[in-house]
A and B are shown apart, each in its own frame.
Chain A
Amino acid sequence: MINKGFKIFICMLFLCCFLGVGVAIGEDEEDYPQEPIIFTKPVKAVVFDHKIHIENGLDCDSCHDEPFEMAAGTAEENQDFNMKSLYEGKYCGQCHDGESAFASNTRCTLCHIGVKGYNRLTGIKPKGHGGHE
């Protein structure tokens, strides 16, 4: 026979677990955008995934509001938002310097998903080009 107190304890334990998980998920969703950020300027297209960076131990302060403002599309308006700036340690290059994270001049297509990647993510069906998409 399991006594009543133990049953209640087990019930409470389960309840706490579920509530705990629920709260955690809720918080995460509020914390950062779940959808990847897609840059289309100056070249189409570059993907940034908040989740991967959070999982690698970064938090909001790591990139906001320096080097990136907390508003998608802001950096793209800058004339110097390009690879040269990254190599000089600006924008993504602040970490992607070959020490903190892989260097900006390596593994190009990890972030540069191209027009094909852009179309896939946004659900655009490409037209023409002899069925080569």
Chain B
Amino acid sequence: MKENRSDKPNYVTDEERREFLKLGLKITGVLAGGSILSLVPLPEDEAKAMLELAGYEHTPYKPHYVMVIRQNHCVDCQRCMDACVKTNHVPEYGYRTTILERLAKDDEGKEFPVFMPVLCNHCLNPPCVRVCPTKATTKDPKTGIVVMHYNKCIGCKTCMAACPYNARYFNEEKRAIDKCNFCWDTRLSKGEKLTACAAACPAHVRVFGDFSDHESEVWKLVHQPDKAVWVLRPETGAKPCVFYMND
């Protein structure tokens, strides 16, 4: 039987590999919890061309909110998680953002943890939005934020199953699905420039900003010719807007 999608986190099928290559992107490795693709290192114009191919350069969103995660700076202090819980009243049984961990080995064979913050990827092509039967979750036409309309949600949890990033949970109090909305209601709409998690991070791991602004830090980070940038589970075609890099 032919496998179209790997269920094992540390395994990439030929099919997936071809999917990456179709996007014009290069696989650099595999991580627990998600395959990796590399947008760069490439000459700047080539990197830009690839991002354009993948649909990131010309979106209708302005500002186009994205997050860049400087993964190797994360030390799992969890201030981001605490800030999120406090700001967005996230119950103990759920999360809007969390930190995953895996063990890696350095050159001398010594094990060290790699911490990977995860949250809603605010995909360009969000599977959750596509499957919602009541249009309770939509992609905001102005900012690109994947938002919830709690009063429309019937709690069928189809979006939870569709999300490749496990970014949704059922909120018992709201009787609806809840998820990260880049702190739109709690901060951004009130004039704040950063999400609670980005503001709370002491190591500048979570860089938040407007990808449509070529002067923004997020845009510049992703467009460094000598740095590898990847997204999680690119093979789903969701086109996630949370970028990862080591710097």
A residues adjacent to B (C-beta < 8 A): 42-44, 107-110, 112-117, 127-130, 132
Closest to B101 in A: A116
Chain A's nearest CB lies how many Å from the CB of B235?
A: 22
Taking a contact as CB atoms under 8 Å apart, the answer to whether B98 and A129 are in contact is yes
Taking a contact as CB atoms under 8 Å apart, the answer to whether B93 and A128 are in contact is yes
A92 CA / B169 CA spacing, docked (Å): 41
Taking a contact as CB atoms under 8 Å apart, the answer to whether B76 and A112 are in contact is yes
If A108-B73, A129-B95, A130-B93 touch, whether A116 touches B113 (CB-CB below 8 Å) is: yes
Chain B's nearest CB lies how many Å from the CB of A31?
A: 24
Taking a contact as CB atoms under 8 Å apart, the answer to whether A114 and B112 are in contact is no
Taking a contact as CB atoms under 8 Å apart, the answer to whether B112 and A109 are in contact is yes
Selected from A43, A127, A132, the residue in CB contact (under 8 A) with B202 is: A43
Residues of B contacting A108 in the complex (Cβ-Cβ under 8 angstroms): 72-73, 75, 203
Task: Count B-side interface residues using an 8 Å CB cutoff.
Answer: 27
If A43-B202, A109-B114 touch, whether A130 touches B98 (CB-CB below 8 Å) is: yes
Taking a contact as CB atoms under 8 Å apart, the answer to whether A114 and B101 are in contact is yes
If A129-B95, A132-B100 touch, whether A115 touches B113 (CB-CB below 8 Å) is: no
**Residue of B81, B95, B101, B114 with most partner-chain A CB within 10 A:** B101
Closest to A82 in B: B202
Selected from A112, A130, A132, the residue in CB contact (under 8 A) with B75 is: A112
Chain A's nearest CB lies how many Å from the CB of B81?
A: 8
Q: Which B51-101 residues have C-beta < 8 A from chain A?
A: 72-73, 75-79, 81, 91-95, 98-101
Taking a contact as CB atoms under 8 Å apart, the answer to whether B92 and A128 are in contact is yes
A54 CA / B94 CA spacing, docked (Å): 43
Selected from A112, A114, A128, the residue in CB contact (under 8 A) with B99 is: A114
Residues of B contacting A110 in the complex (Cβ-Cβ under 8 angstroms): 110, 112
**Residue of A43, A44, A107, A115 with most partner-chain B CB within 10 A:** A115
If A107-B106, A109-B112 touch, whether A43 touches B77 (CB-CB below 8 Å) is: yes
- B150 interface contact, C-beta 8 A: no
- B115 interface contact, C-beta 8 A: yes
Closest to A43 in B: B77
